[in-house]
């Protein structure tokens, strides 16, 4: 793999992640927060550390519970309370966002050590 191919792959994944991030953070999260507040619950993840909230909600909705990326006893987010509020659209976009984030991380690490 040449550096040019790697750069195209990396920036393609970056753009794909950015589009999914924008869709999820502007469409899904406000609706989920509003529904949870209307039902008398607290916001899904009250802490937002440089976008960590978007990643955590996407993972909590889209990834299976019980794996290393989405465990039930997460102190920052209540996964059990959040999952019923995610629609099929939210789960799909959240899955695409989670996969693109982890793919970008892997490609970036491979690029750092390979090039």
Whole-model pTM?
A: 0.89
- Structural domain of 14: 3-114
Sequential pLDDT tens for the chain (115 residues): 789 999 999 999 999 999 999 999 999 999 999 999 999 998 888 888 888 899 999 999 999 988 888 878 888 888 889 999 999 999 999 999 999 999 999 999 999 998 8
Backbone φ/ψ region at 18: left (φ over 0), alpha (ψ -120 to 50), beta: alpha
Give the three-class secondary structure for 70: strand
Between vectors from CA 78 to CA 74 and to CA 66, what angle results, nearest 5°?
55
- The span from the CA of 87 to the CA of 115, in Å, is 41
User: Could you tell me which residues are beta bridge partners of residue 67?
Assistant: 70
Give the three-class secondary structure for 67: strand
pLDDT of 24 reads 97
Phi, psi for residue 70 in degrees, rounded to 5: -150, 85
Total domains, the chain:
1
């Amino acid at each position: 793999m040449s550096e040019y191919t790697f750069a195209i792959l990396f920036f393609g994944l970056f753009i794909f992640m950015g589009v999914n991030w924008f869709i999820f953070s502007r469409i899904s999260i406000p609706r989920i927060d509003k529904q949870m507040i209307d039902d008398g619950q607290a916001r899904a993840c009250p802490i937002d550390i440089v976008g960590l909230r978007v990643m955590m909600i996407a993972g909590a909705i889209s990834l299976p519970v019980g794996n290393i990326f989405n465990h039930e006893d997460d102190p920052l987010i209540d996964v059990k309370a959040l999952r019923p509020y995610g629609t099929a659209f939210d789960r799909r976009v959240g899955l695409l966002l989670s996969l693109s984030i982890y793919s970008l991380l892997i490609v970036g690490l491979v690029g750092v050590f390979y090039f």
